[in-house]
Amino acid sequence: MKRFKEKTVIVTGAGSGIGRATAIRFAREGANVVLVGRTTQTLEETASEFPHDRTWIHTDNYLIVACDVSIQTQVKEMIKLVIDKFDKIDILVNNAGKAVQGKITELSAEEWKSAIDINLNGTFYVCQTAMPYLIASKGNIINVSSLSGMGGDWNMAAYNAAKAGVSNLTRTLALDHGADGVRINAVNPSVTKTGMSSSIQEDTVKTDKFIERCPMGRFATPEDVAAAITFLASDEAAMITGVNLPVDGGVSASSGQPRF
């Protein structure tokens, strides 16, 4: 099913993990995909996994842009390149992010700023720059927040603050731009099998504690999150906006009490 045929989709952080799985999913469903990230090589590796059924896809329907979303001038240039090639933006997926661990007494000012710049400011810059084109296309945005944007975690002060900002920015943008015909939602994954969560996956004690808390008994995969993103981006979600959708196997359903 080609739900996104002739749609232009931007995916930031497309070089690995959730971003890579999302870009591939959109390509398989017919979209023109713009892969955005800091490293051209990893973006090319993502593009190499795109399908090549020439009945619907051809070599000119994707674009690779090296861009640091925390730098506003680079974001503006990236959006210009997208418009120059495709003339429009239909869907924006803000996935670029960075995990920063530590209590507030342990974090340096540089670590705090880095978490805010990449996770929150980057999302703001891309949304702000792309919004006029999304209004023109009656498009939509999916921000990749986190379950950490919906509650607190131990030793994650900067990351939690940044992702909470993304979650509430999502709600506010949905209120401000619903009348423009633009839908804005977020997905909020818990621990997902990506490089960002390797410290948890490689620690059997942390893994066992998470599995005990998760009703479905496993980590999410990038493909699990990509499926939720493409649903929210599709016409099937035409009446859904302002939502922060947990993709967490039921972790957020718990009151926090231990299993008795």
What are the catalytic residues? Answer: 159
Q: How far is CA 251 from CA 32, 109, 153, 197, 210, in A?
A: 34, 31, 13, 16, 9
What burial class does residue 94 get, using C-beta atoms within 10 Å of its C-beta: 0-12 exposed, 13-18 middle, 19+ buried?
A: buried
Which tokens sit at 199?
């410290």
What burial class does residue 71 get, using C-beta atoms within 10 Å of its C-beta: 0-12 exposed, 13-18 middle, 19+ buried?
A: middle
The full length of the chain comes to: 260
**Residue 97, amino acid:** G
Q: How far is CA 154 from CA 5, 105, 148, 207, in A?
A: 43, 13, 10, 15
Q: How far is CA 30 from CA 167, 209, 237, in A?
A: 29, 40, 18
Three-state SS sequence of 65-96: EECCCCCHHHHHHHHHHHHHHHCCCCEEEECC
Is residue 174 a contact partner of residue 241, using CB atoms and an 8 Å limit? yes
183/185 Cα distance (integer angstroms): 7
Q: C-alpha angle with apex 226: 225 to 229, nearest 5 degrees?
A: 90
Strand-pairing partners, residue 220, are: 192
